[in-house]
Amino acid sequence: MLIKLPKSSDCNESDVTPESVYFSRRSVLGASLAGFALGALPVLGQAAEASRYADVEAGSTPGWFKDKLGATRWQAVTVKDEAITPFKDATHYNNFYEFGPDKGDPAANAGSLKTEPWSVVVHGEVGKPGRYALEDFVKPLQLEERIYRLRCVEAWSMVIPWLGFPLSEVLKQVEPTSKARYVRFETLQDPKSMPGQRSGFALIDWPYVEGLRLDEAMNPLAILAVGMYGRELPNQNGAPLRLVVPWKYGFKSIKSIVRISLVAEQPKTTWQGLAPNEYGFYANVNPQVDHPRWSQARERRLPSGLFNPNVRTTQMFNGYEEEVASLYSGLDLRKNY
Ligand SMILES: Nc1nc2c(c(=O)[nH]1)N[C@H]1C(S)=C(S)[C@@H](COP(=O)(O)O)O[C@H]1N2
Ligand SMILES: [Mo]
């Protein structure tokens, strides 16, 4: 599969001090990245690549992940001239309400999540339904590094180097039937290991549910991630398997997935169900359509502090307009927020 790296993915703003991490990567790959096609990318050694992420804590690295990591296609998609968010921020400023409502709760509490063994049920309008052990689920897939902006609906953002594979590859393998029009995802429900599910936080009707239209799910930018920063996913970031949809607000990128269903009707999703006037099914990043309680025109890019809030302009579709705008031609994005 060949994905072109469109120019609009690149951000040319130079108002952010690049992290040392970012510079060392650039010096490895040099200028040869400009305008490349995926297939032309050099495959670098695992050690060289992983060492770029100097501030990353070692994980437990399950065996199936180690096997995959060696053949990773590094930098399959990247953002130009934007610093990668430090690992510490990406793993200590989280939304994962199953582990509590505050940004620090997931890092403090997600250690109780047991991610091995893990299985994923694929069912509904598919030719090949089944329950797959995670290691079997990932076996036919090649890991790719995708460096994406993540824009939360709360108006903060990060740049995260994910490791994952295109969702389309998984969907093709399970053979959606002609009735399949949407994909529905479900997070693990386990009040024993997820304290937020015991307290019934914010009236969420667990499990957390998200969904995409099938054509959105087939877009090459939509991935299922199993890692970040050259290692497996930390629990607080949605281990062992999460969705990443970079042109949509972060709440679409559902964590710790146990069920993927191909369905005919638009799924009822968690945040839309909680506050339908504030959170829509589409949730495309759109600086022109404000949240009822705050503007979406700008965002705080982490790390962001009192003296340097690091504010930047929010881009249409989070900077992925060229790749995804055609999915929404003829759709009123004000009504379908
Ligand atoms: N299961 C589940 N998935 C979730 C959430 C959640 O609370 N539960 N929060 C979402 C929100 S609001 C955001 S912004 C992202 C945050 O991902 P990160 O913590 O890895 O940055 O995860 C999303 N996925
Ligand atoms: Mo979010």
* Domain coordinates in residue numbering, the chain: 13-328
Can you give the pLDDT at residue 256? Answer: 98
Can you give the pLDDT at residue 51? Answer: 62
Can you give the pLDDT at residue 202? Answer: 59
Binding site listing: 94, 97-98, 152, 187, 237, 242, 253-255
- What spacing in Å lies between the alpha carbon of 91 and ligand 1's midpoint? 12
- What spacing in Å lies between the alpha carbon of 96 and ligand 1's midpoint? 5
CB 301 within 8 A of CB 157: yes
Can you give the pLDDT at residue 13? Answer: 34
Residue closest via CA to ligand 1's atom 10 equals: 251
- In the chain the first and final C-alpha atoms are separated, in Å, by 31
Can you give the pLDDT at residue 221? Answer: 98
Which atom of ligand 1 is least distant from the CA of 90? 21
pTM: 0.87
Considering Cα of 13, then 155, then 160, then 59, what sign does the dihedral take? positive
Q: Which residue is associated with the tokens 């650039």?
A: 26
* 63 exposure class (CB count in 10 Å sphere: 0-12, 13-18, 19+): exposed
At position 162, the amino acid (one-letter code) is W
Which of these, 54, 76, 110, 83, lies nearest to 225 by C-alpha position?
76
Can you give the pLDDT at residue 21? Answer: 31
- What spacing in Å lies between the alpha carbon of 54 and ligand 1's midpoint? 25
At position 10, the amino acid (one-letter code) is D
The CA distances from residue 281 to 7, 163, 181, 266, in Å, are: 28, 26, 14, 9
Can you give the pLDDT at residue 47? Answer: 53
Can you give the pLDDT at residue 24? Answer: 36
CB 328 within 8 A of CB 13: no
Topology of domain 13-328, CATH: Sulfite Oxidase; Chain A, domain 2 (3.90.420)
Can you give the pLDDT at residue 15? Answer: 33
Can you give the pLDDT at residue 58? Answer: 87
Q: How far apart are CA 337 and CA 334, in angstroms?
A: 6
Q: How far apart are CA 134 and CA 64, in angstroms?
A: 9
Q: How many CB atoms lie within 10 A of CB 23?
A: 12
Q: What parts of the chain have a pLDDT lower than 50?
A: 1-44
